[in-house]
Structure 1
Amino acid sequence: MLALALLFAPAPGLTDTPLSGPPVPVAFDPALLGSVIGTALNFLRPRTLEAYSVRQFTLWGLNGLTAIDPALTPESTETSLRLVTPNGVLYAQRPPAETDLAGWTQAAVGMAGAAWLNSQPLRAAGQQALVQSFFDELFNHLDPYSRYIAPAPAATDRNARNGVQASAGLTVVREGRGIAIASVNANGPAWSAGISPGMRLLSVDGQPVRGMDEAAVTTLLNGDPGSSVSLTLGASPRSARRRHAPEQAAERTIVLTRAAVPPETVFAFSSGDIVVLRVTGFSADTAQEMSLFLDQAMQPDALGEDPASGAGPVKGLVFDLRGNRGGVLQQAVTSVALVLDHGVAVVTRGRIPQATHIWSVQGGDLTGGLPIVVMVDGRTASAAEIMAAALADHRRAVVIGSTTLGKGLVQTIAQLPDGGELFVTWSRVLAPLGWPLQGLGVMPEVCTSLGRAALDQAMQDLSSGVLDLREAVRQSRLARPPLPVARILEIRSACPAAIGTDIDLDTARALIDDPVRYHAALVPEDLGGAPGPGSVHVSAD
């Protein structure tokens, strides 16, 4: 009844002489507001890193009214909950019990309704702004990563995470007046059909594409999920010349079923006898993409289309995580499982059992023990830091670059009744050797952010078996939470965060080319072991 009453009358609890104001506009929906706030409070209560009461969450959120209209001031004492302005009291009631979820939800809606009746700035801002301000003020008291995302951007984020566009899973590019396949998404139908970059696209559903621009061709390729699209393809000019085959004979038609394709996050290229996998994020299919590329890279002719080309076997692997802001934690763990036979990948600790895990991997190294270098920089964060830390702590890879961002908090997501989403930090991340990622970040074994002279000296010392950053790496690996900010800054200063450059790949190649340097750069063996029983096992299958 409270929600309906707010549509037609002043909010309950107003004084006998409330400020006059217009009727509540239809745009104000107290039922929806109550559902959003109640759902959010119920979700937050057991999950935040520190324990707070429903009362505290609500009082923080109600300060959002003041953020929109400074004339509105929520006040709370042990015996009174009020909304006041310089001209009088707009709302008053006895405070609910500390843990009364329904009571505090109703109080928040009641106060918001009273404010809406009497505040032109609030009505001008709209109810969505009210909701946003409520959560902004609430999350200002928590960590930097907990947040509310409004319905429209939340839908965009969900689409980006899950992939909703029905397509063939490829991109095209103009070559003269013709159209060629520019890239093939490893998550899409074109990949499994054997379509590869460089092939010429001749027609779509029988319509010739010669002379069309990329956007027009893309429109033809896209369609309803589950619908069919017929592609007539020709071999790349280079392939046709090599095989001395007539152009017409190389043509073939493939029928694909359009699908919602998650965003591609893994991109592969070769640098001599080294395979580089650039990972831009960790979405729902990142580990699967990585698995496909690794399987491809381990084929005998991975570095040459023709075995007679003289290309040798793959000598090493580079994961480029520079600029990778993270994503789905489980995908990072599964990615680690692709190149690590067994061991703890990461530990998460929160207040509830679902937030506390020891994530272990078992499944087998797809690379057969190839040397691995991980490139990171000051923008590498979250799930990307988890992967780098796990491979470094297990001496499975050498990490090079600069100290990473240091985002070692994990968020869980709740969808709210308005279509918005809550991202709530519910656990802290510890690397396999027990050190915290939050604030500290990953200290690389080889630093490229100190300048060319320092890097040259470090590489020269590695040739003699000396790791210049040994003490800095040791200090970072032996760190335990909570860490004072001054201590974090002291450790990080050994290799300042910076944006990656071309010198990183040159350094990665130099390490892979020289086994002495590579093994000298691995994390020292005397830094301890990983956590033991109680693991959550993640397989690479």
Structure 2
Amino acid sequence: MVSAINANGPAWTSEIDTGDRVLAVNSQSTTGQSAATVTEWLRGPEDSALMLRLLSPGQRRAHTVTLRRAKVPPETVFAFVSGPIVVLRVTAFSSDTAEEMSQYLDQATQDKNLRGLIIDLRGNRGGVLQQAVTAAALLLDHGVAAVTSGRDPQSNHIWAVQGGDMTNGLPIAVLVDGRTASAAEILAAALADHRRAVVIGSATLGKGLVQTVAQLPDEGELFVTWSRVIAPLHWPLQGLGVMPQVCTSLGEADTNRALHTLASGRLANQAAITASRAARYPLTVPNILAIRKACPAALGNDRDISVARDLINHPAWYKTAIAAIPDDAAPAAQLSAAP
């Protein structure tokens, strides 16, 4: 039985759906065969033909699908449906992550009953910076997703996006935790700073440095820190991390109080949000710790998803959390390279 379809693979655009029963592979019946045997039949040389005989649920007549085998990179985006809400679990940012997100978003927005989107970045250690920027472009109409700043003029770059929000302004909640790092933090910061999403969870890791790899003559590698990442509202990701609008790392009782405060039109974590957005490089360690202690880094838990659903299902709560992000009042000089 087909349990899932890789968004990067040739089956994604074919007439294969999850739940289909595989009756035959290249005319070989699967009856009585083990899953390992059928899986081995599915493998083969790149670009070779693969013919599948399938039976879809509720259908009495089987159909045949012919594919061309291809090398498929591991998936990094996984989609789940929770009533009128779609959850996208992003495990890393590889060379195909933004394309995977685009395909799932395109599919999800076909549902006219869709009420919101949850992007789960918990445990995501990052990856390709450009993929985080491209992912942000899928959900922002325009604006700066991030700025990289360093000593070498070539390291200075303003990562601006102008794509078009695929969800047409649908409410978005982003889940983060203490393991969320690097490119994942860039996406969370971009969506939060543009008031496009509510970030829920704990303070993130705070890995806001861009590194380049130089190959050495002895086949070794030298990692060189090239630049630092500055969020759209001009605060540094390095050390500070992303401060969520709704903190869930202080325990269930504190989370419940935060939701009750939201219901009254205020944000419990407002002081930390304001302080984090006002922070500017260079930051001292005591300053970083003073801001982060409002929502200590922690592992994500099941409560995060529940809180995200609550915000999407209560538009007034969502608007209060979105409005907690301050306006961009920083001078243009903040975008210049650091000394």
Q: TM-score, structure 1 length as denominator?
A: 0.59
- For each residue in 1:55-109, what CA deviation from the matched residue of structure 2 results, as whole angstroms up to 9, or x when unmatched? xxxxxxxxxxxxxxxxxxxxxxxxxxxxxxxxxxxxxxxxxxxxxxxxxxxxxxx
Give how far 1:350 is off: 2.2
Q: Distance in 1 between matches of 2:26 and 2:211?
A: 44
Of the three residues 250, 255, 258, the one matched with 2:69 is 258
Aligned residues: CA RMSD: 1.9
Of the three residues 299, 306, 321, the one matched with 1:521 is 321
Which has a greater percent of helix?
A: 1
- For each residue in 1:133-188, what CA deviation from the matched residue of structure 2 results, as whole angstroms up to 9, or x when unmatched? xxxxxxxxxxxxxxxxxxxxxxxxxxxxxxxxxxxxxxxxxxxxxxx111111011
Q: Distance in 2 between matches of 1:296 and 1:470?
A: 35
The aligned counterpart of 1:193 is: 14
Contact residue 344 and residue 531 of structure 1 kept, 8 A: no
Of the three residues 277, 294, 297, the one matched with 2:105 is 294
CA separation of 1:480/1:532 partners in 2, compared to 1, >3 Å: closer, same or farther? closer
Give how far 1:208 is off: 1.7
CA separation of 1:363/1:453 partners in 2, compared to 1, >3 Å: closer, same or farther? same
The aligned counterpart of 1:453 is: 253
Of the three residues 220, 225, 228, the one matched with 2:46 is 225
- State the identity as a percent: 62
Q: Distance in 1 between matches of 2:331 and 2:104?
A: 31
Q: Distance in 2 between matches of 1:221 and 1:418?
A: 40
Contact residue 374 and residue 400 of structure 1 kept, 8 A: yes
The letter of the residue matching 1:225 is: E
SS of corresponding position for 2:195: coil
SS of corresponding position for 1:440: coil
The aligned counterpart of 1:314 is: 114
The aligned counterpart of 1:285 is: 96
Q: Distance in 2 between matches of 1:208 and 1:345?
A: 51
Give how far 1:418 is off: 5.9
SS of corresponding position for 2:4: strand
Mean Cα deviation higher: 516-525 or 373-382: 516-525
If asked which structure has higher relative contact order (CA below 8 Å, sep 6+), I would say: 2
Gaps of 5+ in 1: 1-179, 303-311, 536-541
2:131 corresponds to 1:331: yes
SS of corresponding position for 2:12: helix
- For each residue in 1:388-414, what CA deviation from the matched residue of structure 2 results, as whole angstroms up to 9, or x when unmatched? 000000000000000001100112234
The letter of the residue matching 2:315 is: P
The aligned counterpart of 1:340 is: 140
Give how far 1:268 is off: 0.6
SS of corresponding position for 2:2: strand
Matched pairs, number: 334
SS of corresponding position for 2:38: helix
Q: Distance in 2 between matches of 1:488 and 1:230?
A: 58
Gaps of 5+ in 2: none
Contact residue 274 and residue 325 of structure 2 kept, 8 A: no
Give how far 1:264 is off: 0.4
SS of corresponding position for 1:192: coil
- For each residue in 1:189-226, what CA deviation from the matched residue of structure 2 results, as whole angstroms up to 9, or x when unmatched? 01011322111111211112233333322222122222
Q: Distance in 2 between matches of 1:280 and 1:388?
A: 14
SS of corresponding position for 1:434: coil
Q: Distance in 2 between matches of 1:451 and 1:265?
A: 30
The letter of the residue matching 1:517 is: W
Mean Cα deviation higher: 467-476 or 226-235: 226-235
Larger radius of gyration: 1
Of the three residues 213, 219, 223, the one matched with 2:34 is 213
Q: Distance in 2 between matches of 1:197 and 1:335?
A: 26
CA separation of 1:357/1:404 partners in 2, compared to 1, >3 Å: closer, same or farther? same
The aligned counterpart of 2:205 is: 405
Of the three residues 184, 190, 193, the one matched with 1:384 is 184
